[in-house]
Amino acid sequence: METKEKVVEPLKEIKVRYTAGSAPNATDLIASPEEARFVFGLGVDGLTPFEFELEGKSAGDRVQYRMARSQVPEMFGHLLHDMGCLPIRNAEFYLNVEIEAVAEVDQRQLVKALAATTSCGDGDCGCGCGGH
């Protein structure tokens, strides 16, 4: 029996590692890879631009994002609180993302992730999300 490779799709837990640089192949802004985990596709407004680029990809695939500091809240949306360190002091940067794992989500994880998507409420909550 052939085992189908798991791809990034709604209601999968995604683990990524990322670095960042001031140029496409640089890692001068985040040299040591940061890690983030999230449940894909839970946003009330649909996929974020960050998720959109990951959809259909598998563990080992890489994606590079070129973004301005002003684009960060829109790029990550509800996932911003999952994305630890980002080089937001720079006017523009390249984020180099590698998908480490795609896994099934158990019901407990799903409920927790759903609750987290609504935890910031209206206005600036102080978590750095910009009150999205």
Domain positions in the chain: 12-109
Mean per-residue pLDDT, 117-124: 56
pTM higher than 0.85 for the full model?
Answer: no
Quote the percentage of the chain above a pLDDT of 70.
86
Q: What is the pLDDT of residue 35?
A: 96
Please, which pLDDT band fits residue 2 given cuts at 50, 70 and 90?
low
Q: 32: pLDDT confidence band, cut at 50, 70 and 90?
A: very high
* CATH class of the structural domain 12-109: alpha beta
Is 56 within 8 Å of 47 (Cβ atoms)? Answer: no
- What residues form DSSP beta bridges with 101? 15
